[in-house]
Chains A and B, each alone.
Chain A
Amino acid sequence: MATAVGSAAPLEASEDLRRGETWSIRWRTGFDRWIGFLLPLLFLVAIVPILDVVYYISSKAVPTLTWGVLTSTGDYQLHDALGVPIESTFLFVLLATVIAVVLGLFGGVATAEFLPERAAGWVRMSANLLAGMPSVIVGYFGYFAFCLYFGWGLSFIAGVFTLSFFMTPYIFRTADLAFSSVPRPIREAAYGSGARPTQYILRIGTPIAFPQILTGVFLAMAIGVGETAPIVLTVQPGLLVPPTLTSPATYLTALIWTGFSQPPSVALTIAFQAAFLIIVVVLVLNIAVRIIAARYRKRLEGLYQ
């Protein structure tokens, strides 16, 4: 058998696998080889600045950051004390998240499940527009709407609402996407079993969409923690802890914003410490998202065949 193949008639030129290499094939092979070098290079280009920023900020912040600094409730304008800003940032993000989750979730479910295709398209476009809006514009909107028009003044609550406006489109988008991507057969099977729309949403849609929505909420929180403009423009800086709805309040990013433009020492130190804390929080939230996604992926395995 082997000899029969080996002793076949001489190959036609066009079938000789070694001589078929045209200029174009050679070029493409070469390109593939270069891409192999280029991609790691691009990866470095992306990763090095990030690592540099993290390293620079950590090197400035970590040596001075003690437990005492994190918990001290002194005046951050006079001492190295972060207790108040941490606590009010936590409250800001918590309340804004609650509002954004309510708005985003209802909006997302309504868009995915109830709105006619054309209307849903408009709503999605608006949400994308809102998500892409520069934060300073959202901040000004908040200032005019909440501080002036509603007469709340520069206050904690105005900041919470402005921040929640900023976070809502992210939660909306993940909720919409999560409910829209429930496999159609699963959706039809639920309705085919006699489920009402609310029953479908609560019993089938939500468990399937949950990990994705949670991911969206965590990412929105990460974005919220790092936002500056909505707070700086709508909240009067102040030390009160816990802030009341109409009182001044402070925020970690606001410390960076003011710290860098002030005479050195305490303000600058605090700015670096605040930056470091924000990086840590964003990192932790992103890692949490990955862990959640991995855990649930296993449970839903086989659903999306």
Chain B
Amino acid sequence: MSGTPATFEGPVLSTRGLSVLAKKKAILDHIDLDFAPRSLTAVIGPSGCGKTTFVRTLNRMVELTPGLSVEGSVLYLGQNIYDRGVNPVLVRRRIGMVFQRPTVFPMSVFENAAFGLRLIHADEDEIDREVTEGLRRAGLWDEVKDDLNRPALSLSGGQQQRLCIARALAVRPRVLLLDEPTSALDPMATQRVEATMQRLKEDFVLILVTHNVGQAARVSDRVAFLHTGKLIEVGATAEILERPRDPLTEQFITGRFA
């Protein structure tokens, strides 16, 4: 299961001419982007630029919002996830997601982390193993290992968010989408989640949406800047943040508009 198939040499995930329309108004406008293995790409841009919509197209979560239509393609290991016959449920098991606010379920810590595995009826041994592994990778294991049966809602906000990461990781996805995962967290918790992200990019493709340029600078290898639904520029983090080519990018990262 791990490692891309030997025959496949390209990016894990790429978008080609990806547009999202709401009643003919383009929320996203012909985005072409590639995501290589073991990378963390930060998608930045002002509020309303379409960055959240963008990551939601990458695992077909966008379909849960009525009234939006998607054009173009999203290729996962070369196959278009919007092709007829592709099951969005399977897409979401390969391309996991973490949301702005922690979204733990009203059950125990263990059951939260095991949620995705229970959906595919994994056996108990595998569940035990993957839950432990997921919690370790999310950097939460040491804090919860003594009492995995406590209610997840009793955890702090930062712990809950790392639990959500563990839950997403337990089904062994290849890609993890993070939609402003620290926007509801205090600075300490933010720091821990950022450390977690940095460790995770060794094994997964991470795509991080953030409005925080500082966070993009701290954790990402590559930055994509979106503005009014268009991809303005993309490149190595240091490159973009220090020498932006486009005046819009420069205005955004120097804080002249938000």
Q: Do A and B bind each other?
A: yes
Q: Is B92 an interface residue (CB 8 A)?
A: yes
- Tell me whether A303 and B119 are in contact (CB under 8 A): no
Please, which residues of chain A bring their CB within 8 A of the CB of B97? 189, 192
Known: A188-B64, A188-B99. A194 touches B120 (CB 8 A): yes
| A195 within 8 A of partner (CB) | yes
A195, B89: Cα distance in complex, Å? 6
Contacting pair B61 A191 (CB below 8 A): yes
Q: Which of B64, B100, B103 has the most CB of A within 10 A?
A: B103
Bound Cα distance from A109 to B151, whole angstroms: 26
- Is B92 touching A189 in the complex (CB atoms < 8 A)? no
Task: Determine the chain A residues whose CB is within 8 A of the CB of B93 once the complex forms.
Answer: 193-194
Q: Are A185 and B116 in contact (CB under 8 A)?
A: no
* Shortest distance between the CB of A198 and any CB in chain B (Å): 11
A192–B154 Cα distance when bound, in Å, is: 23
Instruction: A300 to B153: give the CA distance in the assembly, Å.
Output: 8
* Secondary structure of the A contact surface, majority rule: helix
List CB contacts (< 8 Å) of B91-140 with chain A.
92-93, 96-97, 99-101, 103, 105-107, 115-116, 118-120
What size tier do the contact residues of chain A reach? 20 to 34
A295: chain B residues at CB < 8 Å are none
CB nearest neighbor in B for A192: B97
Interface assignment of B168: CB less than 8 Å from any CB of chain A:
yes
The stretch of A8-16, A139-147, A199-207, A242-250 in contact with B is A199-207
- Give Cα distance in the complex from A10 to B65, angstroms: 61
- Please determine whether B107 and A185 come into contact, CB atoms closer than 8 angstroms: no
| A49: interface (CB < 8 Å) | no
B227 interface contact, C-beta 8 A: no
- Cross-chain contact of B119 among A188, A195, A305 (Cβ < 8 A): A195
Contact present for B89 and A196 (CB under 8 Å): yes
Which of B101, B106, B164 is in CB contact (< 8 Å) with A305?
Answer: B101
A208: chain B residues at CB < 8 Å are 106
Contact A192 B66, beta carbon cutoff 8 Å: no
* With A117-B66, A301-B153: A192-B59 Cβ-Cβ less than 8 Å: yes
Asked if residues B99 and A192 are in contact (CB atoms below 8 Å), the reply is yes
Asked whether A299 lies within 8 Å of B151 as measured between CB atoms, the reply is yes
* A190–B66 alpha-carbon span in the complex (Å): 18
Q: Verify A194–B90 contact, CB threshold 8 A.
A: yes
Closest to A195 in B: B119
A116 within 8 A of B: yes
Instruction: Give 24 CB contacts A-B under 8 Å.
Output: A116-B66, A183-B103, A185-B103, A186-B103, A188-B61, A188-B103, A189-B97, A189-B99, A192-B59, A192-B92, A192-B96, A193-B93, A193-B115, A193-B168, A193-B171, A194-B89, A194-B93, A195-B89, A199-B119, A204-B105, A299-B106, A299-B151, A300-B153, A302-B153
B interface residues (Cβ-Cβ under 8 A, vs A): 59, 61, 64, 66, 89-90, 92-93, 96-97, 99-101, 103, 105-107, 115-116, 118-120, 151, 153-154, 164, 167-168, 171
